[in-house]
Structure 1
Amino acid sequence: MALFTVDSNNTFGQTVEEAGKYNVVIASSSQYTTTKEAGKPMAIFDYEVLDGPYKGGLIRFDNEVWDGTSEGKAKLSAKRFNTIAVALGAANGTAFDSIEQFVSQAVGHQLAITVEWDTAANGKAYLAVKSYEPFMQDGSKPNGIKRPAAANSTGNSGFGNQKNTTGGFGTATNNQKSDGFNGSVAGDKQASGTASGYSNQSANSYRGGGFTPVPDGSPF
């Protein structure tokens, strides 16, 4: 008799399996860092879905870069972060002194995001954030579009990303790679949703400052 059988509905960490529009909270795992090549300020936002069939699911690695290398790029960066701030409920006239401050104060606040499937350089499909809006009173709206089939291909061993053998698990390959409105700019493009965008390290290995809980009087 089998000890257990695999059931994707009986796991820790709900996964979001459809594109669409979701009510989310900015998760505490969100963080501030800088881009690897040019050292530009970057927010890495993770989102937790608040309602609907994917409640509790995470949408991760929405990388937003502040580029102040020219007046024009700084204006575009301001518009990008303004869009997020307005969706979070920040009032006109609210000032931020740094992207680090913005991230620390955004954690724990709610908004709605629209996500679509994108494919990274390693062929893996991930949900990328395309737009931000205020929290929706009528709830999240998955649109039925699931991960592209090509990104779900697996061997016959019971686990994906492994060579097939006659055993129950198979032998792992030696070159496996770990399995968004994207704010990266030319020369600083990060591979959103993959570790390869951070020199083969998980984005969770970055520590942007160890933020304290959101204080009273937060702008959001």
Structure 2
Amino acid sequence: MALFTVDSSNTFGQTVEEAGKYNVAIASSSQYTTTKEAGKPMAIFDYEVLDGPYKGGLIRFDNEVWDSTSEDKAKLSAKRFNTIAVALGASNGTAFDSIEQFVSQAVGHQLAITVDWDTGSNGKTYLAVKSYEPFMQDGSKPNGIKRPAGSGNTGNGGFGNRQSASGGLGSATNHQQSSGFNAPTSSNTGNAQAPGTANSYSSQSANSYHGGGFPPIPDGSPF
């Protein structure tokens, strides 16, 4: 007798199947690390969708690197993280001492992200973050564009090509609640796992930073 049978209505979270603009909170699975080769500080942001048809779904591995190897790169890094901080509700003058502190204090806070389908060097297609904005009062806006036919983001095994999402947000700690961000209103809890993919570099426009920040990572690698 089978231990259990697969039932898509009996899962943690939700699969995000369309590109578009989503109200999200930064998930507790987000983490601080450093790049493998150069040891640069890196934030790995995971996002949980807060409303709409994909409520509870995770959009994972938005990797943002702080590069201070030159004055120009340091300025670009500051603009990149400033864009995220402002979208999260940080006030002018709020100071952060490290990327590790930024990630810790950002968990649980809300913003809106625009995502589209990207294909990594490993041939897998995933939702990549293209821009950041403040939380939208009129709700998330999937745009109807689904994963391109014939592409996938899982390896060999008994599973299909859909992006899997599970779990949710952790409650903010006292340290997080005293941060410079607007107080979060979501406090779901859970654990999250997803395939090992990450965003690629995208272009910078005059009006918004288009997300990404690190090449796709190998399968099974946390960074």
TM range (shorter): 0.7 to 0.9
Residue aligned with 2:151, SS = helix
Other-structure match for 1:65: 65
Q: Mark the CA change 1:3 to 1:28 in structure 2 (over 3 Å): closer, same or farther.
A: closer
Cα separation, 1, equivalents of 2:67 and 2:215: 14
Residue aligned with 2:51, SS = coil
Matched letter for residue 103 of structure 1: V
The yes-or-no answer on 1:190 pairing with 2:215 is yes
Shift of 1:13: 2.9
Cα separation, 1, equivalents of 2:153 and 2:69: 42
Identity of aligned residues (%): 82
- 1:157-215 Cα offsets, whole Å, 9 max, x none, are 97448xxxxxxxxxxxxxxx96743453xxxx431xx5x07xx4234xxxxxxxxxxxx
Cα separation, 2, equivalents of 1:14 and 1:135: 20
Shift of 1:5: 6.3
- 1:124-150 Cα offsets, whole Å, 9 max, x none, are 110000000000000000000001112
Other-structure match for 2:148: 148
Cα separation, 2, equivalents of 1:152 and 1:90: 36
Q: Where do residues 99-118 of structure 1 align in structure 2 (5 Å cutoff)?
A: 99-118=99-118
Matched letter for residue 57 of structure 2: G
Q: Where do residues 65-214 of structure 1 align in structure 2 (5 Å cutoff)?
A: 65-152=65-152, 159-160=159-160, 180=199, 181-184=210-213, 189-191=214-216, 194=217, 196=218, 200-203=220-223
Shift of 1:121: 1.3
Cα separation, 2, equivalents of 1:158 and 1:103: 34
Shift of 1:3: 9.0
Shift of 1:96: 0.8
Cα separation, 2, equivalents of 1:159 and 1:27: 24
Shift of 1:11: 2.6
| Bigger-Rg structure (1/2) | 1
Other-structure match for 2:30: 30
Residue aligned with 1:85, SS = helix
Q: Mark the CA change 1:121 to 1:8 in structure 2 (over 3 Å): closer, same or farther.
A: farther
TM-score (norm 1): 0.72
Shift of 1:14: 1.1
Identify unmatched segments of 5+ residues in structure 2.
162-194, 200-209
Cα separation, 2, equivalents of 1:190 and 1:71: 22
Task: Check the 8 A contact 2:196/2:221 in 1, yes or no.
Answer: no
Identify unmatched segments of 5+ residues in structure 1.
162-176, 204-220
- 1:48-77 Cα offsets, whole Å, 9 max, x none, are 000000000000000000000010000000
- 1:18-63 Cα offsets, whole Å, 9 max, x none, are 0000000000110100001100000000000000000000000000
TM-score (norm 2): 0.71
Shift of 1:12: 2.5
Other-structure match for 2:167: none
Q: Mark the CA change 1:9 to 1:142 in structure 2 (over 3 Å): closer, same or farther.
A: farther
Q: Mark the CA change 1:101 to 1:4 in structure 2 (over 3 Å): closer, same or farther.
A: closer
Task: Check the 8 A contact 1:65/1:183 in 2, yes or no.
Answer: no
Other-structure match for 1:48: 48
Other-structure match for 1:169: none
